[in-house]
Amino acid sequence: MNQKDERNWAVFISLAGIIGMTIGFLSPIGNMVAVLALWLFKRDESSLLDTEGKEALNFQITMSILVVIVNIIFFFLSAIWTFSTFLFSSYYYTPGFHFRIFRGRNNIVWIINLIFSIIAAIKANNGEVYRYPFSWRIVK
């Protein structure tokens, strides 16, 4: 594989998590599936692709775990909000109000994923391996 193709595939692997995360019906696993598929397909062709794929996969696993944690936290906050509103001010209760407040909870994780994936893609385009600043390194 020539160097230009190697760098292009490294960029695709770095950006696959963003694409996978935007697919609504697969979230929070779409980002992992997209990166895993590309990495498994191309890991034997280049050491850069193997290393970049592992880094991207570890980061996407971390992002998926973060999405699950955020959803659990906001589920409990929503339950507390609903219960306290029902008990203390039922005359002012608006059904679904708390869900509108928490609707954008995964956007923060998506923005973090977007920023670090773009940085990784730029580094991959230069032929460098990017080590994500916070990532649970499961795949070695």
Q: What is the reported pTM? A: 0.80
Any domain includes 47: yes
Question: What H or E segment, with its residue span, contains residue 36?
Answer: helix 30-42
| E strands present in the chain | none
**Which pLDDT score is estimated for 71?**
80
Give a yes or no: residue 77 inside a domain.
Answer: yes
- pLDDT value of position 121: 93
Q: Which of 66, 134, 79 has the alpha carbon at shortest distance from 105?
A: 66
On whether residue 15 sits in a domain, the answer given is yes
How many domains are contained in the chain? 1
Range of the domain at 111: 3-125
Q: How confident is the model at residue 120 (pLDDT cuts 50, 70, 90)?
A: very high
- d(Cα 42, Cα 39) in Å, to the nearest integer? 5
**Has residue 56 been placed in a domain?**
yes
Q: Is residue 114 part of a domain?
A: yes
Is 94 a member of any domain? yes
Query: How crowded is the C-beta side of 62, counted as CA atoms within 13 Å?
Result: 18
Q: Answer whether residue 92 shows pLDDT above 60.
A: no
Would residue 133 count as lying in a domain?
Answer: no
**Using an 8 Å Cβ cutoff, are 31 and 60 in contact?**
yes
Q: How far is CA 49 from CA 1, 13, 98, 130, in A?
A: 11, 8, 44, 11
* Eight-state DSSP code of residue 128: P
- Would residue 109 count as lying in a domain? yes
